[in-house]
A and B are shown apart, each in its own frame.
Chain A
Amino acid sequence: MKKILTIAKWEYIEKLKTKAFIISLIITPLIIIGFSILPTLLSNKEELRTKAIGVVDPSGEYFNQLNSELKKYTIDNGQPNYILLNLTTGGKTIDELKSEADKKVLENKIEGYLLIKYGSTDSMSIEYRSENFGSFRDLGRFEEKINKIRIDNELLKKGIDPEVASVIQNNIELQQIKIEKSGKEGKQDFLVVFFSAFIFILLLMMMVIYSGQLLVRSLIEEKSNRLIEILISSCSPEELLTGKILGLSALGLTQIIIWSFIGISLVGGAVIPPEAFENILPMLVYFILGFLFYTTIFVGIGSIVNTEQEAQQMTTYISLILVMPIVIAVSAIQNPDTMIVKVFSYIPLTIPSIMLLRFKVAPVPVSDIIITLAILILSILITLKIAAKIFRIGILSYGKRPTINELISWTREK
């Protein structure tokens, strides 16, 4: 036990001091924050402008109403967000109007314009023509308002009371409420659930890939300079492996914790919804066990490969298995009791991510927690035993990668 701690401490501290670790610790969050903040900064700035929008509407039905509807949108200083210009002049064909308006756009006199074709007929269509893609928010507003005006007008023509018309136009949104044991009600949004589970699975995967590669790299290094021989003549392979796994897990955890602190303090609840932190304790257990399980598998791999390229290939495949549950995530969220979800929650490789997902979706029965934890812990212990055996022989076989049959015969050796 003492030697395990010595090894764990060595792996942790020596890796912590490396330049690569310090750089990744700082650079990665910077990049992520950069990516998440920049677009917001850019789009916010855009909102501060008043935009001149042209309207080409030969039917003449929409301009006035649209103008008064869009006046409701203002920017911070009270100025209107949009100024509409009527570009429809009588006596010209729609093609002439279009080419004139296009010219105005290219000369930057207007931001863009709405081309309303066959306005008063059933085959009406609208185009927003501009030099650059308009913002989603602008286009959404235009579309919504034009549709509203069209339906209002149609209903009016059919002689329907404007009050009835407004009832018809009034959509009611369906809200989903998640009932929990504690009697608490929670607002359940598919996307929030999906992403808060997704964040944990993604974090788990990042940590597995990062620490797994550290582990494999350190094994390959020790293998290539035969340091491994000194280590194995000082402690048992199990001690060496357990020490390494613990040390590098602590390292991965340190990294995640620091990143989370940076993330939460800078971005706050805006990116990570507070719902993500429900059931955090049991999730943490699955997170850590899942991490240990994958790392143990990586050790087995690290001891049979000789170069980093080989290692990278194999670690990528294994990490993919970890993300596989994302594929069934949609059905898992909609119906956590389906067969496929149950099956995946008993397969050791997918237990961690499926359980992370299930905790987000619905209360998980205690029996399921006990069974999955038992499977996971047992798998870790068995894998550790097998990995140690493969490790013991693999570390001394240089050159050719062993075949599956050789591997099986290694694990049988006493």
Chain B
Amino acid sequence: MIEVQNLVKEFQHTFAVDDISFSVKSGTIFGLLGPNGAGKTTTIRTVLNIIKPTSGKVLFNGEPIKKDFLNKIGYLPEERGLYKKSKVIDVIVYFAQLKNMSRTQAISEADTWLNRLNIKQYRNNKLEELSKGNQQKIQFITAVIHNPDLMIFDEPFAGFDPINQQEIRELIFSFISAGKIIILSTHQMETAEKLCSEIFLINKGKKVTSGNLARIKREFGGNHVEIKFNGNASFLSSMNEVVKLDTYNNYAEIELKDEVEPSVFLKQIIDKIELTHFSVIEPTLNSIFINLIEQN
């Protein structure tokens, strides 16, 4: 488990991160979400010990982080780049050795990973000869080759085509089953929605909301249903239960008062109109995100 307690990072009188606390358990994907410049990368860098916090603590399995902690983390930074003039296998082995792997072990693991990501034919090529997507795969390998306990991925899918995105996504899920701690930083809400069980929404260095994704959706999603029908639906606008109504030809989106249960509302309207479809609308994380940021 990794715990971040009351983290503050001040850069020349501005707070990049202002009193942030969270914890991530093994076997979960923790989504660190926020718009550009919200403080995501600063938070990650502090956890990684790249920069020192102005105040606050980072604990790993209940203890302050020590030097060998560096060997247990894998980091995929947002901006990618490797030694372009060097050979693929050399670069992977170098980074693996920096994580304290032996040379022989590093070579055999590197070959396993190149094979798994279907790029073993580029083993002895220079990095600059590879396509951008394949270079990203190499970078991904350098982040996970040493089987770290804590993995931090900053925008892991940026730059990948849909097929490769799927491949990476499956890999990340396999890390979950292996009990890893994963922190995923992104501003792509759809990605977060598909992967994360816990999220932390950050804006201007401060926490906006955090917790279980399903709970947050219930809390901030509002109470929406959609119906499809035949006939006249104008009576809906005069109902007490309805807050807001968008009617189209044979389709309507209805926002209900918070205390109204959708199933009760269905019983109320089912005799008044010929319904062809009724469903509760799950709010997207994206809309919650935009709403919350705008409220702030």
Contact status B99-A226, CB under 8 Å: no
Complexed CA–CA distance, A2 and B98 (Å)? 9
Q: Which of B69-110 contact A (CB under 8 A)?
A: 70-71, 73, 75, 77-83, 85-86, 90, 94-95, 97-100
User: Given A230-B75, A230-B77, A413-B52, do A235 and B83 touch, yes or no (CB 8 Å)?
Assistant: no
24 contacts between A and B (CB under 8 A): A3-B100, A6-B97, A10-B94, A14-B83, A14-B90, A18-B85, A225-B80, A226-B78, A226-B81, A227-B81, A229-B48, A229-B50, A229-B75, A229-B77, A230-B143, A233-B48, A233-B49, A233-B70, A233-B75, A234-B70, A234-B71, A392-B51, A393-B51, A396-B50
Instruction: Determine chain B's interface SS by DSSP, over half rule.
Output: loop
A124 CB to closest chain B CB (Å) equals 71
Contact status B99-A234, CB under 8 Å: yes
Contact status A227-B83, CB under 8 Å: yes
User: Given A6-B98, A396-B45, do A236 and B83 touch, yes or no (CB 8 Å)?
Assistant: no
Which single residue of chain B is at the shortest CB-CB distance from A230?
A: B75
**B70: which A residues are within 8 A, CB to CB?**
233-235
**A230: which B residues are within 8 A, CB to CB?**
75, 77, 95, 142-143
The yes or no answer to A158 lying at the interface (CB within 8 A) is no
Contact status A235-B79, CB under 8 Å: no
Beyond A232-B50, A396-B45, list 14 extra A-B contacts (CB 8 Å). A6-B97, A6-B98, A7-B98, A10-B94, A14-B90, A225-B81, A226-B77, A226-B80, A227-B82, A230-B77, A233-B70, A234-B98, A235-B98, A413-B52
Interface on B for A, CB 8 Å cutoff? Answer: 45, 48-52, 67, 70-71, 73, 75, 77-83, 85-86, 90, 94-95, 97-100, 142-143
Which single residue of chain B is at the shortest CB-CB distance from A240?
A: B98
The yes or no answer to A280 lying at the interface (CB within 8 A) is no
Interface string of A146-157 (1 = CB under 8 A from B): 000000000000
Which single residue of chain A is at the shortest CB-CB distance from B78?
A: A226
A392 CB to closest chain B CB (Å) equals 8
The yes or no answer to A231 lying at the interface (CB within 8 A) is yes
The yes or no answer to A45 lying at the interface (CB within 8 A) is no
B259 CB to closest chain A CB (Å) equals 49
**B67: which A residues are within 8 A, CB to CB?**
236
**A72: which B residues are within 8 A, CB to CB?**
none
The yes or no answer to A414 lying at the interface (CB within 8 A) is yes
A15 CB to closest chain B CB (Å) equals 10
Complexed CA–CA distance, A18 and B97 (Å)? 22
Which single residue of chain B is at the shortest CB-CB distance from A3?
A: B98
A229 CB to closest chain B CB (Å) equals 5
Which single residue of chain A is at the shortest CB-CB distance from B86?
A: A14
**B86: which A residues are within 8 A, CB to CB?**
14
User: Given A234-B70, A236-B67, A396-B45, do A2 and B79 touch, yes or no (CB 8 Å)?
Assistant: no
Complexed CA–CA distance, A232 and B143 (Å)? 13
**B77: which A residues are within 8 A, CB to CB?**
226, 229-230
Complexed CA–CA distance, A325 and B195 (Å)? 65
Interface string of A194-238 (1 = CB under 8 A from B): 000000000000000000000000000000111101111111100
Interface string of A296-336 (1 = CB under 8 A from B): 00000000000000000000000000000000000000000
Complexed CA–CA distance, A302 and B86 (Å)? 22
**B49: which A residues are within 8 A, CB to CB?**
232-233
**B73: which A residues are within 8 A, CB to CB?**
233
**B45: which A residues are within 8 A, CB to CB?**
229, 396
Complexed CA–CA distance, A74 and B51 (Å)? 79
**A18: which B residues are within 8 A, CB to CB?**
85
Complexed CA–CA distance, A233 and B65 (Å)? 12
